[in-house]
Amino acid sequence: MKLNKTIIVGLILILFSGLLFVTNIFNPIIRPITYIFLMGSSKGKDIMFFGLLGLFLILSQVIKKDIDVTKYLKISIVIGSITLVFGILLEVIFRLQMGIKLNTIFASMTSTMTTTSILHTHLIKAILGEVLTKIIGPFIQTDINTGVSLYQYLPSFSFLIIILLPTLFITIVLASQKRPWFSNLLLAFFSSCLIIGIIDGGLFGTPAIVGIMGIYLVYRNGYYITRIAGKIFKDENLLKENEKYQPPYRNKGLSKKRRIFNHILVYIVVIGIIFLRFTIAFAGAEPDCYTVDVINATEDEIDLGNISDKVISVENHTDLNKITYLIDPSYNEMQLLNDLKVPLNDSCEYYTVSWNIYSYL
């Protein structure tokens, strides 16, 4: 592997990731940018993003011999999709096992507070967090939430994700070999978003949608995007290399309508996933009031502090070790979750909150 511009850029990005790990001085500059495609960017996500981006760029220069990169790109799309669906199925199984509703946000209060829901899952993050904590626990900063408090509630077979993620990583690396530099940059960017989205957010999260659809975009329309980039940068070498990576439907004698459909198919799929996400969110919303179930509380009734004046009613189910609070729906959902953290810290095992997307409107 000879040192070239792609490898140098990759090394710089990894070094920058290391700087983000040891200092916060770049956060005000980086966070507003990464927030757009990482959905509520955090320090942990930023470190992962730049580290993965640099690593994918470097590893794209590893293999010298020709391999069928298109085949491995298709495999990456399939494995990435299976992994994302697995995350949602794990959420469903976890909730059925715990006896809680599907349309709730689950918040574990054991150790560090961690939330999860079908719309934004952290279960895969909990599995990886458990593994990493055992391996490099002393090096994980306290302000990076690894989600390990959720791990105790997961079924044993959830460890299968440990097989899927490395496999996905390897196929992405194989799919990026010897590609034109612009195509490599696109693939590295989208792959980094996908890995982060799988770990934090899941199928309906912004990083996962950007990642899996971005890889699909490279597969179907990457040739045309790279050709446009070559003309913009006036890079004849980029245009020449790009001719080796024709889209699967080009020069197949298809009708004009079919060619247009092939071009826009990826965008139709993106719109479909986003539509499904909002359909589930609105269908599962409880706009009349929030139902907060506090499990294994340390007291018969907990003072919710600033939220107390928003409480409509309280019901103590002693036989279920559960206290149910009905809270005014005018409360913003995210604000409610944040405000519950303090009064419920060390006061219960976990609690659930019914979701209400209308509170964001």
Q: Which pLDDT score is estimated for 64?
A: 80
For 321, which DSSP code? T
User: How far is 144 from 112, CA to CA, in rounded Å?
Assistant: 10
DSSP-derived secondary structure for 59-113: HTTS--S---HHHHHHHHHHHHHHHHHHHHHHHHHHHHHHT--TTEEEEE-SSS-
Reading the block at residue 115, the tokens are: 């939330």
**Other CB atoms within 10 Å distance of the CB of residue 321:** 13
Return the structure tokens found at 31: 């966070």
Q: Nearest to residue 151, comparing CAs of 80, 208, 90? A: 90
| Bridge partners (DSSP) listed for residue 317 | 322
Q: What is the pLDDT along the chain (361 residues), one digit of tens a residue?
A: 577 899 999 999 999 999 998 888 998 889 889 998 988 667 888 999 999 999 999 999 988 888 999 999 999 999 999 999 999 999 999 999 999 999 999 999 877 788 999 999 999 999 988 887 777 655 555 556 677 889 889 988 888 888 899 999 999 999 999 899 999 999 999 999 999 999 999 999 999 999 999 999 999 899 999 999 999 999 999 999 999 888 877 766 778 788 788 778 888 988 999 999 999 999 999 999 999 999 999 888 888 888 889 999 999 998 889 999 999 998 899 899 889 988 998 889 999 999 999 998 7
**For residue 10, how far is the Cα from the chain centroid?**
22
The whole-angstrom separation of Cα 3 and Cα 272 is: 42
- Neighbour-count burial for 99-115, b at 16+ CB within 10 Å, e otherwise: eeeebbbbbbbbeebbb
Between the alpha carbon of residue 111 and those of residues 46, 230, 348, the distances in Å are 24, 51, 11
pLDDT, position 59: 95
Specify burial of residue 259 (Cβ count, 10 A radius: 0-12, 13-18, 19+): middle
Query: According to the model, what pLDDT value does residue 194 have?
Result: 97
What is the CATH topology of the domain spanning 290-360? Alpha-Beta Plaits (3.30.70)
Question: Using CB atoms within 10 A of its CB, is residue 198 exposed (0-12), middle (13-18) or buried (19+)?
Answer: buried
Residues in contact with 79: Cβ distance below 8 Å, sequence separation at least 6, in sequence order? 164, 167, 168, 171
Asked if residues 270 and 306 have their Cβ atoms less than 8 Å apart, the reply is no
C-alpha separations of 208 from 17, 29, 197 in Å: 20, 23, 4
Domain residue ranges in the chain: 67-83+160-283, 290-360
d(CA 98, CA 124): 17
Task: Report pLDDT for 143.
Answer: 56
